[in-house]
């Protein structure tokens, strides 16, 4: 059965997250409902990873198998005509059966957008995290350097995380200014449930207290959620990019 890859983006405000739920609207559920309407067959859609309730995606990747007589490149246009306005597919194409949106991914990048300062726009409230102060970017990056490497990130996951292992490899983590916002970008092989949001909240808390990277190292080593700072809200987090090896890399 032919395998179709979807590259899409979505506004997470109206969804309980990526994963299908019994009652609440999810991105996966919206895609599967649209596919059933289009093809007449219930089709399972597999994403590169889950995003939490309220979390957005600039570039999410998914796949499904279907023998419907629709050219692979036409799925994007056809599904966009059915999907709710908060989800848009910008590319659909045929891939080999060896491609798996989740297990073939070699790296994922998230961005967290912060609006510092007293002024804000009502159009940003559900899409960025607003804080009233201007943090020290140099200090934040000094702290974030302790994240690089392979660590057990139990400290930064929620109690309900069902991962068999909580060891993850982080290859990059830094803050930078962009268009009046403060952006935290982090890349790794995979992420735990609420891990990025917990890291952001902890880094902001440590920076405000004037702590050094050694403190973050101790927090990571503790492998105890009680040692982490507050969890940053969902609306500032975006799945920015999912990376694959050849022949499926962009």
207-229 per-position pLDDT tens digit: 999 998 899 999 999 999 999 99
Q: What is the mean pLDDT of residues 75-100?
A: 96
CA angle 185, 160, 58 (to 5 degrees): 30
Q: How high is the mean pLDDT of the chain?
A: 94
Q: 160 falls in which pLDDT band (50, 70, 90)?
A: confident
Tokens of 58: 């600039």
Q: What is the mean pLDDT of residues 104-114?
A: 97
Q: 124 falls in which pLDDT band (50, 70, 90)?
A: confident
Q: 122 falls in which pLDDT band (50, 70, 90)?
A: confident
224 is catalytic: no
Res 131 pLDDT > 90: yes
Q: What is the mean pLDDT of residues 158-181?
A: 89
Q: Where in the chain is the domain with CATH 3.30.70.660?
A: 106-242
Res 68 pLDDT > 90: yes
Q: What is the mean pLDDT of residues 174-196?
A: 95
Name the fold adopted by 106-242: Alpha-Beta Plaits (3.30.70)
Q: What is the mean pLDDT of residues 151-155?
A: 95
Q: 123 falls in which pLDDT band (50, 70, 90)?
A: confident
Q: Tell whether domain 3-103 is in CATH 2.30.30.40.
A: no
Check residue 118 and give its pLDDT: 82
Res 31 pLDDT > 90: yes
Q: Where in the chain is the domain with CATH 3.30.70.580?
A: 3-103
Check residue 169 and give its pLDDT: 96
Catalytic site residue from 11, 52, 98, 224? 52
Check residue 164 and give its pLDDT: 82
Q: 250 falls in which pLDDT band (50, 70, 90)?
A: confident
Check residue 158 and give its pLDDT: 82
Q: What is the mean pLDDT of residues 90-110?
A: 96
Check residue 1 and give its pLDDT: 85
Q: What is the mean pLDDT of residues 183-199?
A: 95
Q: 125 falls in which pLDDT band (50, 70, 90)?
A: confident
Res 151 pLDDT > 90: yes
């Amino acid at each position: 059965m032919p395998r179709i890859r979807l590259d899409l983006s979505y506004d997470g405000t109206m969804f309980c997250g990526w994963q299908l739920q019994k009652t609440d609207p999810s991105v996966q559920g919206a895609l599967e409902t649209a596919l059933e309407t289009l093809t007449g067959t219930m089709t399972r859609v597999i994403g590169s990873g889950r995003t939490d309730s309220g979390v957005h995606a600039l570039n999410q990747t998914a796949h499904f198998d279907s023998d419907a007589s629709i050219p692979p490149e036409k799925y994007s246009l056809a599904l966009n005509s059915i999907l709710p306005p908060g989800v848009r597919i910008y590319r659909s194409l045929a891939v080999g059966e060896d491609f798996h949106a989740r297990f073939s991914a070699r790296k994922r990048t998230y961005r967290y957008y912060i609006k510092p300062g007293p002024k804000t726009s009502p159009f940003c409230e559900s899409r960025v995290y607003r804080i009233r102060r201007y943090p020290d970017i140099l200090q934040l990056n000094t702290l974030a350097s302790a994240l690089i490497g392979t660590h057990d990130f139990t400290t930064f996951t929620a109690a309900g995380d069902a991962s068999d292992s909580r060891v993850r490899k982080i290859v990059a983590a830094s803050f930078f200014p962009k268009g009046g916002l403060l952006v935290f970008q982090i890349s790794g092989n995979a992420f735990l449930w609420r891990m990025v949001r917990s890291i952001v909240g902890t880094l902001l808390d440590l920076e405000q207290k004037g702590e050094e990277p050694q403190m973050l190292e101790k927090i990571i080593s503790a492998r105890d959620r009680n040692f982490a700072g507050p969890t940053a809200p969902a609306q500032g987090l975006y799945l920015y990019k999912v990376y694959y090896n050849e022949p499926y890399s962009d």
